[in-house]
Amino acid sequence: MAPRIIICIPAYNEESTIAKMVIRAKPYGHVLVCDDGSVDMTKDIAEALGAEVIRHSVNKGKDFALRSLFMRAKEIGFDILVTIDADCQHDPSEIPKLVEPIISGKADVVNGRRLGSPEMPLSRRIGNKFLSLLFKTGVEDAFTGFRAYSRQAIDALKVEGRGYLVDAWIMKELREAKIRIIEVPVSVSYTIEKRGVLAHLSKIINAWISQTVERKPLVYLGIPGAIFFLGSLFAAFRVLMIFQSTKAIAIGTAILFLALLSAGIFMMISALVIVVLKSLLRSRS
């Protein structure tokens, strides 16, 4: 008996590409689209071509789109779930390449690796490779949206990541759950890359920092803030000692004292605010 395959496509304002993706994906399984608050014809086009569409009233981000897709897929029932982005970067004809290792029992997740593709812009190669290592995902390309999952793998997921980083966090979750993951090379097609290497790296590093700080504010803000505060006390002591012995103010050390004191207090207060806000949000939910 052939496995039941669901192809999940998160989409936001993709009216120019969604038709091609739905048509090319339909031969391989049930097509499920999450229209994440689009203001164009994405939903209407996908439905007209026979896809099942989940509609978000407002744009919530890829993480919410994937959660909605996974939840609906569980309601329908499936053996293998494939995710693919709606922007035509990936070729749905390569879906069999991703699902075959799961059917044969070689893996529970197959990650479409783009890094070997000559079409991938240099900035994306460098950024994706760097953050894949930083996240310790165990894969070379943690940011691809083209993957196949077994039911066991989907059941193990909480999808805790947010926005731009959700694909990497999924890989991190699966690795920590000891899910069997392999990678296969896939083709990729990009429009002209408008951002340079530094701009691309800046975006993903800033997103990663905000995500980690939000998860562990005391570790990433509170402890460094306390260290800075203690450093400011040492600097203040040095200023006093120098003044007592020379009757002169050590300007450089005084500036260092003010900088460390300000940074330390700001970071510790920020950590406490984040902890309180997280506690309030948890109590309301």
- CATH number for the domain including 200? 3.90.550.10
Among residues 154, 182, 213, the one where a domain terminates is 213
Q: What is the pLDDT of residue 33?
A: 98
Q: How far apart are CA 145 and CA 270, in angstroms?
A: 34
Same domain assignment for residues 268 and 191: no
* Residue 219 amino acid letter: V
Same domain assignment for residues 169 and 228: no
Q: What is the pLDDT of residue 281?
A: 67
Is the predicted pLDDT of residue 283 greater than 80, yes or no?
A: no
Q: What is the pLDDT of residue 39?
A: 96
Domain count, the chain: 2
Q: How far apart are CA 285 and CA 65, in angstroms?
A: 20
Q: What is the pLDDT of residue 105?
A: 95
Chain centroid to CA 98: how far?
Answer: 21
13-to-34, 38, 42, 51, 164 alpha-carbon distances in Å: 11, 5, 6, 16, 16
CA angle 6, 153, 51 (to 5 degrees): 15
> What range does the domain containing 164 cover?
5-213
Tell me the average pLDDT across 232-238: 94
Q: What is the pLDDT of residue 192?
A: 47
Same domain assignment for residues 161 and 201: yes
> When comparing pLDDT for 153 and 120, which is higher?
153
Is the predicted pLDDT of residue 245 greater than 60, yes or no?
A: yes
Tell me the average pLDDT across 15-26: 97
**What predicted TM-score, i.e. pTM, was given to this entire model?**
0.74
Same domain assignment for residues 102 and 240: no
Q: What is the pLDDT of residue 154?
A: 96
| Candidate from 34-43, 104-113, 158-167, 173-182 with smallest mean pLDDT | 158-167
Name the average pLDDT for the chain: 87
Same domain assignment for residues 186 and 245: no
Most confident of 84-98, 192-206, 212-226, 236-250: 84-98
Residues 160-209: tens digit of each pLDDT:
666 677 888 899 889 999 999 999 999 888 654 445 556 666 666 666 67
Same domain assignment for residues 179 and 225: no
Same domain assignment for residues 92 and 204: yes
